[in-house]
Structures are given as C-alpha cells and as structure tokens.
C-alpha cells in the first residue's frame, strides 16, 4: 500500500433528523461550525497527507465560511443524493493523487482524536479494510414484526461501528464502482459495501466519545462534551496604571469618555483593556502585554488597544481554549464610569467574541487617598478565567 494517506470527510447530507434550518455540519458547537474541528483533526494529524471534503452543491457559502483560514484542504467536491454516492465522489476526486490508504469519515463526528486516527491507519495497513467498533454494555434484543422480542442477541459478538473507516484505496474504489454499476446505492457505511464485494473487514477499537451528532439533543450533548474537554480552568490577573495629562477624553474599555483630562502612555492608554490583556496572558502563562507589544516599538504608539485584546483572545483560541469570564475594576475619582459600564461591557465582549453576560465592569474611587485619590492617575485591575483542553501542558 504505497502512496499517500488520504482522508475523505463526507458532508453532503441535509441533516433532516437534526433540523435547525441548515445542514447540521454547519451548525455551531462551542461557537465553531461542526465540520471545522472534524476537518482540523485530519489536517493537524502528521500521518494524513490529503484531506478531501465532499459537500452539498448548495452549501458552498456555508462551507467557505466554516473553513476560512484552514490550509492544506483539497478543493471540495459535490456529493450525491446518498452517503454512498458522496463517498464515491470523494474517492473519484482522489484518483489523480493515487492514495495508498483512505480514511472515510462523517463530518458529523467532530470528536475523533489523533489516537483514533493512528489506530485507523495501523489497522488499515494491516488488513486493507477496517472499521472502529465499540462494545455494547446493554443487552440487545431483536424484535419480530409485531414488536415482540424474537431473540436476545449475544452482545459479546456485537459492535457499534463508527467512522473513520479505513481501506486500501484501490480496494474500496473498485468496490464502489462495482456497486454503482450494479445499481446498488443504499449501503449506509463503506464496510457494508466492502463486505458485499467480498472483502474481509477487521475491527479496531473505536471511542465512546466519537459520537455522530444526529439529533437536536445531540447538539446539547456535544456542547457539554466540549466543555468537559475544556476542564483545565485557569485564572489570570492584570494590573495597569496611566497618568492623567492635559486632554479632553480617556479611552476605557474601548469606549471614548469625555473628560477634562487625558491619559498618557503607550498606545491609547486604555488601562481597562491593558489590564484585561495581562489577565488573559497571565491565565495562559504567556508573558505580558509588554513582551508582545514592546513600548519601545513605534508601531504601537497611539495604537487602539482593541488590537491587543483581540490578540490575547486569539492566543486562547490557538490553544483551542475558551474565555469563560472577564472582569475589570477601574479606580479613579473621575470620570464616572458607571454611565458607560454597559457600553464598555459590550465593547469588550465584541472584541473578545464572547457573550456580554461573561464580562463584568466595576468602578470605585479610592476615597481621595493616594495617587488615584489626588486624580494623578487611573488604575485598572482585571481577572480572566480561561478554559483550556485538558491535554494542554
Ligand atoms: N452524507 C453525505 N451525503 C449524503 C448523505 C449523508 O455526505 N447524501 C454525510 C453527512 O453529511 C454526514 C454523514 O454522511 O456527515 C453521515 O450521515 P448522517 O449522519 O445521516 O447525516 P445526514 O444525512 O445529513 O442527516 P439525516 O440523515 O438526519 O438527514
Ligand atoms: Mg443521513
């Protein structure tokens, strides 16, 4: 089995059982269209050379939006009316690349792990046709036409079968072409088609977490599974001070507030955003605002601080994490912050890409004590709560 290792991700279904007004693979789980983490699992895997998506011909805009920024993807090909036809379209599209091995996977299974892909490749190389299977804990009964129990099956012989299913490319494309030529179009998985063509199919260990998102309830389950994966919860704090100077406004939390003084400092001197950036970087143990945006670098002079916050939030996303909460306290005698509190919360939430309910803004005076009390400067303190995948170091 020489030749590259390819993965086909079939995503041309309509998602009728899930409902929701759009094909389920484009509905978000944890803020990302479901197909995106599925594709990323293959793109990020060092042993996968080619990733071939198969999509509905009406879904091109949804697909483009869902895959923005992903690199190394083959151009998508149009699927067919059945899953079998969609897989065949993907196989035909790969013919020129002459893969040795091909993994065939449902876009609707976004929780596959690198270890599962490794097992699939190993089993595929060993047997030429293999599927992931999970043992059944419950007793399973077969029914008769009246819905009565006809038989209790021996569950030790049964497996629930998932994807990615893996095949020698030549074997599975030949089987697909034969089935299509014979007018058979309702095989629900590729193993059934390989069995029909007379090939023995082996089974390797699947994963209970590798669910196929099928119904609307599965979306709730998937959200919970995603959160359970993000169980490495971290808290960071940030602190910033800027001095008042002559001027007519201050920037606070991304909002311009008219004031009898201005603030001096690197960039636009938004203490609230600067403290939040340090809080997020602190939660990631990823340096501080000065190490990423040195004050000595002229390009940050007068820069709008929303860029710094967007950068810190992107660092969280690069770690596949999520921001659970941002909270900031501003200390000054004036200007009064409370009239601007909701505008600041909304602005911070918009920059961070989180719900406004996850942003707290508070303000206090320091009772005329100290430098804030004498209105020499303004202080902000912030806390960020960040969730990272458990595997993160
Ligand atoms: N699929 C496909 N082409 C089809 C039908 C299904 O590429 N004509 C894909 C789906 O997009 C999905 C996978 O096959 O990733 C498994 O199918 P299923 O879970 O049944 O998805 P849908 O067919 O979209 O859902 P439903 O059956 O509820 O309509
Ligand atoms: Mg279907």
pTM of structure: 0.82
Which parts of the chain sit beneath pLDDT 50?
392-393
**Ligand 1 within 6 A of CB of 27:** no
**Ligand 2 centroid from CA 11, angstroms:** 10
Q: Quote the tokens at residue 209.
A: 């977490």
Ligand closest to the CA atom of residue 212: 1
Chain centroid to Cα 387, Å, comes to: 13
What CA–CA distance (Å, rounded) separates 358 from 327? 8
Give the per-residue pLDDT at 392: 45
**Ligand 1 centroid from CA 135, angstroms:** 24
**Ligand 1 within 6 A of CB of 328:** no
- Residue 60 near residue 81, CB atoms below 8 Å: no
Ligand 1 atom index nearest CA of 10: 7
Q: Quote the tokens at residue 351.
A: 């920059």
User: If you count them, how many residues does the chain have?
Assistant: 393
DSSP-based three-state secondary structure for 365 = coil
**Ligand 1 within 6 A of CB of 133:** no
- Residue 121 near residue 25, CB atoms below 8 Å: no
**Ligand 1 centroid from CA 13, angstroms:** 4
Nearest CA among 91, 127, 112, 116 for reference residue 10: 91
Q: Which domains does the chain have, with CATH numbers?
A: 5-228 (3.90.550.10), 231-388 (3.30.1330.50)
Nearest CA among 317, 313, 319 for reference residue 392: 319
What CA–CA distance (Å, rounded) separates 114 from 45? 7
The protein residue with its alpha carbon nearest to ligand 1, atom 6, reads: 13
**Ligand 1 centroid from CA 174, angstroms:** 22
Sequence-ordered list of residues with C-beta below 8 angstroms from that of 371, at least 6 positions apart, any chain: 377
Pocket test for ligand 1, best of 8, 17, 19, 83 (most atoms within 8 A of CB): 83
Give the per-residue pLDDT at 391: 66
**Ligand 1 within 6 A of CB of 17:** yes
Average pLDDT, the chain: 96
Strand boundaries in 163-302, DSSP class E:
165-168, 202-205, 232-246, 249-252, 255-258, 261-263
Query: Which residues are near ligand 2, the ion (C-beta closer than 5 Å)?
Result: 13
């Amino acid at each position: 089995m020489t030749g590259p290792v390819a993965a086909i991700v079939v995503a041309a279904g309509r998602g009728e059982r899930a409902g929701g007004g759009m094909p389920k693979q484009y509905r978000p789980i944890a803020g990302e269209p479901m197909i995106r983490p599925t594709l990323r699992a293959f793109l990020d895997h060092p042993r996968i050379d080619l990733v071939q998506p198969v999509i509905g011909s009406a879904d091109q805009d949804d697909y483009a939006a869902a895959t923005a920024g992903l690199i190394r993807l083959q151009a998508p090909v149009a699927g067919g009316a059945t899953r079998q036809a969609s897989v065949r379209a993907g196989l035909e599209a790969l013919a020129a690349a002459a893969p040795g091995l091909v993994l065939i996977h449902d876009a609707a299974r976004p929780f596959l792990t690198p270890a599962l892909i490794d097992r699939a490749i190993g089993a595929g190389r060993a047997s030429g046709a293999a599927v992931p299977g999970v043992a059944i804990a419950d007793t399973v009964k077969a029914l008769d036409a009246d819905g009565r129990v006809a038989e209790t099956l021996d569950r030790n012989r049964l497996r629930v079968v998932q994807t990615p299913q893996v095949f020698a490319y030549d074997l599975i494309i030949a089987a697909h072409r034969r089935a299509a030529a014979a007018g058979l179009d309702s095989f629900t998985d590729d193993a059934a088609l390989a069995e029909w063509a007379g090939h023995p199919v082996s089974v390797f260990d699947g994963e209970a977490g590798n669910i196929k998102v099928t119904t609307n309830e599965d979306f709730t389950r998937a959200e919970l599974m995603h959160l359970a994966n993000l169980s490495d919860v971290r808290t960071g704090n940030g602190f910033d001070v800027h001095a008042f100077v002559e001027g007519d406004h201050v920037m606070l939390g991304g909002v311009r507030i008219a004031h009898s003084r201005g603030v001096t400092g690197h960039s636009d001197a938004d203490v609230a955003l600067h403290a939040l950036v340090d809080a997020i970087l602190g939660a990631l143990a990823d340096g501080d605002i000065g190490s990423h945006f040195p004050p000595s670098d002229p390009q940050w002079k007068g820069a709008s601080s929303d860029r710094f916050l967007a950068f810190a939030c992107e660092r969280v996303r690069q770690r596949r994490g999520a921001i659970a909460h941002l909270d900031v306290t501003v200390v000054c005698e004036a200007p009064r912050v409370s009239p601007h509190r909701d505008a600041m919360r909304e602005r911070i939430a918009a920059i961070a890409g989180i719900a406004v309910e996850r942003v707290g803004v508070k303000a206090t005076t320091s009772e005329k004590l100290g430098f804030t009390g004498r209105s020499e400067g303004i202080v902000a303190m912030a806390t960020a709560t960040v969730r990272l995948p458990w595997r993160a170091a």
